[in-house]
Amino acid sequence: MIQLAVFASGAGSNARKIIEHFNTGASTLAQVSLVVCNKPGAGVLQVAADAGIPTLVIERERFLRGDGYVPELQAKGINFVVLAGFLWKVPTTLIDAYPRKIVNIHPALLPKWGGKGMYGAFVHQAVVAAAEKESGITIHYVDEHYDHGDTIFQASCPVDASDTPDSLAQKIHELEHEHYPRVIEQLLREQG
């Protein structure tokens, strides 16, 4: 069985959906066996505790300029890394240890509205301010640049003239929750 690590920085709604899909759903392909977080007290830590999944709270300097916590991931038998609202740039050390085995979800249709500082509400504010007609999600491989790796999947939704950043965020969350677990499973099957 493939062992997944989910990296998250916030409330953990995507992490919860991924855990539900793999740990309590019908999937026998993989399971979430570790939740990694960079913020003590983040909601995702409670999501993990509620599901009985071990957690690892990481420190910035070691993650970015040290060993990237690769020894801990390897000790847990982690085969694949899923970023679910994780706000730090992934260091080369971790990318090299898991080539094409780290994926991220971005709350916009890349390559638009990506890059440093473009996350969460900032993305939705920019999309609404630009009067875009559509937005969506992009699931992509992680490389050494923000929001840059090869696209795996995109789904879109209309941006209505009445949409606010908050209402758009709700539409995007629905797309994330609907597609991310399924796309991860499909990707794992394809990778064999």
Active site residues: 106
What angle is formed at CA 70 by the lines to CA 65 and CA 73, rounded to 5 degrees? 145
Question: Which residues are annotated binding-site positions for (6R)-10-formyltetrahydrofolate?
Answer: 60, 104
Question: What's the CA gap between 28 and 23, in Å, rounded?
Answer: 8
Q: Which of 122-126's residues contact partners 24+ apart within 8 Å by CB, and which partners? A: 124/165, 124/166, 124/168, 124/169, 124/172, 125/165
Cα 108 to chain centroid, rounded: 13
Q: Residues comprising the binding site?
A: 12-14, 60, 104
Tell whether omega for the bond before 111 is within 30 degrees of 0, i.e. cis: yes
